[in-house]
Amino acid sequence: MSSFTLRQPASAAMKPGRTRRQRHPLSLFLAAIVASVVLLPIITIFIVALSGSGADWPHLARYVLPRSAVTTFILLAQVAFGTGIVGVGCAWLIVAYDFPLRRTLSWALVLPLAVPPYLAAYAFAEFFDFVGPVQGAVRTLFGFERPSDYWFPDIRTTTGAAIVMTSVTFPYVYLTARVVFLMQGRNIADVARTLGAAPARVFWRVLLPVARPAIAAGVALVLMETINDFGAVEHLGVRTLTLAVFSTWLNRGSLEGAAQIALVMLVIVIFLLMAEHLARRRQRFHAARSTQIKARPPRKPLLGLRGIAATMLGLLPVLSGFGIPLAIFGRYALNRPHQLADPHLAEALITSLATALATALVAVCAALLLLYAASLTRSRGMAVLTRFAAIGYALPGTILALGLLISLARFDNFIDGLAREYAGFSTGLLFTGSAVAVVLACAIRFLALAEGAVQAGLAKLPPNLDEAARSLGRSAPASAATVLLPLLKPAILTAGILVFVDTVKELSATILLRPFGFNTLATYVYENASRGAVEDGAMAALAIIVTAIMPVILLSGSLTRDREA
């Protein structure tokens, strides 16, 4: 009996470890729509800025841009220096030394992230004001009576704004630097010590250069938050490019001029994005065994006065970025319990919750659609669309709101023109100046957060899980609904919480896009601060801070255990 071998056609054979690409035009089409919506504000800004008459450009180039650009660059430089020093210093203190309250400080140093910069600016201005506790203590201690009797530094300066921004954004650098110091393991430092290097020399010559890319990535994130800020710089009177966009648009009535300033900001953001991407690409970690990565570096015990000094150094950033705002708004809230019965506060709270829930739902659904479409098609085009859809987080809220407002206005006018011509009635403004615009802007800006959280959950699942379900007869939608979504519930919940919290804190886009009578907790605090009554927004400020602590609670458990950090 002769034997024979069946040969598969070359097209049917598949190489090990590779899967056949599948075509899903509907998924690709929906992902393209999501990416187009994200890119629409940027494209609109370019069109408006470059298609105008340019009548305002001489005035902007001579009087507005030089001063605003210089102030912005000085602020960015000071914040970069401050967050680098504080973030890296705190990370090294927590990783390298053992002292009282070290475990508590390891997660408490993240608490300042719960305070938006505009709330920190309001609190710092009150704390260091003439009638505030600091100057009051100075007058009591030295017997001064009038402001002319002594000199006290003014917080309402560019340096003051840099101190405020540094106090609440340094955790970005702290987290990235801490993780890198832990992932280096103990071997790299032990080798340097066996060659006779002192601990300080090991840090400066070995560990710090290795961690430099991660530190640069953290600083780039801080600078994106700084250039996005509007409430803090306006309250402190610092004329940055963000504030110039508002004043050019609202005070001068020049939409074209505001778009041109926004283009300058966009160039800075693109530069920061490139720097952050380059820094992340240069991050490389190596260990001979996986257990060596988990082995934390040995901590040097600090006893006596050194231990107390280390504890105080770790407490200072927490008290500055989290303690001062909590103390100021807490004192105001305790003195005004009647604010709890304020119907305007209740309305702002309900509006914030509804807006944040709607934004979280939209952003998470869009992230799931993008990532699932990318996993189905496995094409380079889908990967590019996914990257474009995540760019919204890097856009300052001012640019996003300006571009989206122009886009929605033109779309509303187009629909209204069609209705007038063919139906004989006017639709009016459907999206412009509505809550839908606010939700859409926040969803675009925070889509990257949802995508990152869901992607982290997908990375933990077996790569062929979906294909196994489909080989048993399930369609792609049925496989996603019955297999993937139940397993992704923790990641989806985390994504929803991150988007929810950032939407509650968001101010710059909301203040431009909200309709009349639409107040969130952030705009409620902003309106009270704008009329010089920060104390009237104390309850709303505390509500924002309490809400924003949720991600810190999620982080705190892992931050107290080095191996999971």
Q: Name the CATH architecture for the domain at 23-44+336-413+426-530.
A: Orthogonal Bundle (1.10)
8 Å CB contact between 494 and 554: yes
Handedness of CA 489, 492, 494, 497 (dihedral sign): negative
| Spans of the chain below 70 pLDDT | 1-25, 27, 52-54, 184-202, 205, 276-277, 279-298, 376-379, 381-383, 459-485, 555-565
pTM metric for this prediction:
0.83
**Going by C-beta distance under 8 Å and a sequence separation of 6 or more, which residues neighbour residue 555?**
107, 110
- In whole angstroms, what is the distance from residue 324 CA to residue 330 CA? 10
Structure tokens at 240: 């940055």
- DSSP conformation class of 149: G
Distances in Å between the Cα of 517 and the Cα atoms of 4, 318, 352, 544 are 81, 36, 13, 20
Angle between helices 117-127 and 324-335 (to 10 degrees): 70
Closest CA relative to residue 466, chosen from 448, 486, 447, 490: 486
Q: Choose among 194, 138, 230, 100: nearest CA to 510.
A: 230
Beta bridge partners of 301: 98
CATH number of 53-125+158-329: 1.10.3720.10
Helix (H, G, I), strand (E, B) or coil at 304: helix
Contact 44, 405 (CB under 8 A): no
| Strand ranges in 50-202 using DSSP code E only, listed in sequence order | 97-98
User: What pLDDT sits at residue 78?
Assistant: 95
Looking from the CA of 237 toward its CB, the CA atoms found within 13 Å total: 5
Q: Assess contact for 60 and 54: CB atoms under 8 A.
A: no
Q: Give backbone dihedrals phi and psi of 135, rounded to 5 degrees, phi first.
A: -70, -30
Question: What b/e sequence results for 125-154 when a residue is b if at least 16 CB atoms lie within 10 Å of its CB, and e otherwise?
Answer: bbbbbeebeebeeebeeeeeeeeeeeeeee
- Which tokens belong to 357? 């829930």
Q: How many CA atoms lie within 13 A of 416 on its CB side?
A: 13
| pLDDT value for 11 | 42
What pLDDT is recorded for position 462? 63
Contact criterion met (CB below 8 Å) for 430 and 415: yes
In angstroms, rounded to a whole number, what is the distance separating the alpha carbons of residues 539 and 527?
14
Phi, psi for 98 (deg, rounded to 5): -120, 125
Instruction: Say if 23-44+336-413+426-530 and 53-125+158-329 have the same CATH topology.
Output: yes
| pLDDT for 12 | 42
Helices of type H across 378-488: 380-389, 397-422, 435-459, 465-471, 476-479, 485-487
Parse the chain into domains and list their residue ranges: 23-44+336-413+426-530, 53-125+158-329
Task: Name the residue type at position 448.
Answer: A
CA distance 61 to 67: 10
- Of residues 136, 135, 169, 133, the one with CA closest to residue 151: 135
Query: Cβ distance 507 to 230 under 8 Å?
Result: yes
Q: Which of 232, 216, 246 is nearest to 162 (CA)?
A: 232
DSSP character at residue 143:
T
In SS3 terms, 4-72 reads as CCCCCCCCCCCCCCCCCCCCCHHHHHHHHHHHHHHHHHHHHHHHHHHHCCCCCHHHHHHHHHHHHHHHH
Tokens 């098609």 -> residue: 377
408 Cβ contact partners less than 8 Å away, ≥ 6 residues apart: 431, 432, 437
